[in-house]
């Protein structure tokens, strides 16, 4: 639920910034800021030891080196968050963002099924998490389409 609130805050911030700075497209700016704030938030969670340990537990057992996977996906999330602001990297950042949303979703399923807390917070309801993932993917599609077509 927290990620949904962060996403909405980012979208609101994007609308305000678009309005203040008269950007070309308010919807694009809202999508960029919602992704930026959300992915920065999830990246920063890896810097908190209790959250990092929870994320390591969420990695499905079939994958070796769960600690490395958590660090690597965090760096990818950071690069995606930054990349969506630059026209030359928006498409690749959007594609990477869609892929990471799909690839990381099984970890969310595992956390929900096994009641793995994220630090001290209980796991997000899987249907809420699915909704958030769909919002992320829709935002990435919007960013990619605007980069390609406008």
Tokens of 38: 């959300």
| pLDDT for 50 beyond 90 | yes
Average pLDDT value for residue range 73-83: 98
Q: DSSP label at 42?
A: H
148 pLDDT tier (thresholds 50, 70, 90): confident
pLDDT given for residue 149 in this prediction: 81
Supply angle C-alpha 28, 74, 6, rounded to 5.
45
| Predicted confidence (pLDDT) at residue 150 exceeds the cutoff of 80 | no
Give the pLDDT confidence of 122-145 residue by residue, as tens digits.
999 999 999 999 999 999 999 999
Domain count, the chain: 1
Residues spanned by the domain of 42: 2-149
Q: Is the CB of residue 26 less than 8 Å from the CB of residue 20?
A: no
pLDDT digits (tens, 9 = 90+) for 86-121: 999 999 999 999 999 999 999 999 999 999 999 899
DSSP per residue, 32-61: HHHHHHHHHHHHHHTTSHHHHHHHHHHS-T
């Amino acid at each position: 639920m927290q990620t949904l609130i962060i996403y909405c805050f980012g979208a609101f911030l994007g609308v305000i910034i678009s309005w203040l700075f008269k950007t070309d497209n308010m919807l694009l700016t809202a999508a960029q800021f919602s992704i930026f704030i959300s992915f920065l938030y999830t990246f920063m969670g890896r810097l908190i030891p209790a959250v990092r340990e929870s994320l390591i537990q969420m990695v499905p057992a079939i994958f070796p080196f769960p600690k490395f996977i958590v660090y690597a996906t965090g760096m990818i999330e950071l690069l995606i968050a930054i990349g969506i602001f630059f026209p030359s990297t928006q498409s690749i950042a959007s594609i990477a963002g869609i892929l990471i949303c799909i690839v990381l979703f099984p970890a969310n399923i595992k956390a929900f099924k096994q009641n793995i807390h994220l630090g001290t917070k209980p796991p997000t309801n899987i249907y809420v998490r699915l909704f958030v993932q769909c919002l992320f993917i829709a935002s990435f599609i919007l960013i990619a389409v605007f980069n390609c077509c406008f």
